[in-house]
Structure 1
Amino acid sequence: MKRLIISIILIIPLFSFAQEIMYSGVLIDKEDKTTIPFASIWLEGNTYGVMSDDRGKFSLKLRKENDTIVIRAFGYKLQVVETKKNKKENK
């Protein structure tokens, strides 16, 4: 079984009036650079989440600037990503 690593590219925080932070990105397989469609993405310790689209794109509202995102996709290991204010990329 190939090494399964998810890379989140282009994580861009967008600030709204309600003090929520919108993170958007694309899930990409680090090995073969293909997008990862239909992955589950949610906030750790919360039931709120989204699913990436058929091109691996997603948008998720966070509660605060520093939060933890959990990513699960069929055939991949569970990934936990710490978000940071003004961070452009997480690996």
Structure 2
Amino acid sequence: MTMFSELITSAVSDLRHGGFIKDANELQHLADFALDQSLSAGNRKDAFEQIAMRCHVKWLGEFYLSHLSQKAWWGRLEKLGRSAKKNSRSI
């Protein structure tokens, strides 16, 4: 989960830096749910799946972040999406 936590922190920070505050807050909220061990496995799994869905080029990937190249942003989203899917399967 450490890698996931690092990836989510980075993505949320990038979104906030780019001015996408609402999306950053939603992503952080989902991550908080996904990592909350007191929640049911189903709720946590759903949160991880919601994060993975947002890591698509047609969702968060469409945002322009002036401090990153499009390739770098997509690469970060791809890593986060893979990590979310992996964590979802392990619940």
Instruction: Kindly indicate which of the two structures has a greater share of residues assigned to strand.
Output: 1
Q: Do the two structures share a fold, i.e. TM-score over 0.5?
A: no
TM-score under structure 2 length normalisation? 0.29
